Amino acid sequence: MLDLKADRYYRLDRRHSAALRAMAGGECNAHLDARASLVAKGLIRPGDGPAATPVSAPRVTASVIERRLSWRPETQNCSISPLELFALRFMAGQVLGRLGLFRTARYYRGRRDRCHEQQGGLQRSQDRAAALAACFADQRRFFPAKRRCVPDSLALAAILWRRGCAAEVFFGVRLDPFAAHCWVQHGALLLSDPLDSVAEFTPVFQL
């Protein structure tokens, strides 16, 4: 489980996991003790509220990073200036550091929605999204800050959105050993990473 407000991941034991699965399946009278324990921990609460829908990401089948030469930015009239990348990457790091994950997610959802309104809808043009991602990867090499998956992904997504391209930002985890990662994809096309970088991660949150 990902607690956005606390910016923490929780690994539940089998008992509590079974209780959540039973609830998701509509079993109202199963695992009552475990359910009460989840309420006591503050992970769920009784009463009406929005449904927690499972996160499902299309399985990626190709990576822009690995097939960069397949997408030529000039053929899609795509360019990203070093100044724009610097500004958006710096902003993403600052927003995340100051606001935390919960308010950062809300802030970038608002940016995406505003771009959607201004552009009259975000287009699902794979070639254009791929060309922009390839250009981002080329320019990112010259940005001096250490690579960090969350602000890098947010900066890439912001560039795509402001140019009218749809892009999904996912957060995922693996268990043994535990690790978390964030990446950007456009349908089944991975825009931010090599395929191997996300193969072991299960999505738990979509921006």
The answer to whether residues 160 and 136 touch, using CB atoms and an 8 Å cutoff, is no
Q: Render pLDDT for 10-38 as a digit per residue (tens, 0 to 9).
A: 888 899 989 888 887 778 788 889 999 98
Find, among 185, 188, 191, 183, the residue nearest to 131 by Cα: 191
Residues with Cβ < 8 Å from 198, sequence gap 6 or more? 60, 172, 181, 183, 190
Quote the strand ranges of 62-132, DSSP E.
Answer: 62-63
Domain ranges of the chain: 2-40, 62-206
State whether the Cα torsion 196-200-205-206 is positive or negative: positive
In total, the chain counts a number of residues equal to: 207
Paired with 174 in beta bridges are 179
The answer to whether residues 197 and 183 touch, using CB atoms and an 8 Å cutoff, is yes
Q: Render pLDDT for 117-171 as a digit per residue (tens, 0 to 9).
A: 887 766 777 888 998 998 898 888 888 888 999 999 999 999 999 988 899 999 9
pTM as predicted: 0.84
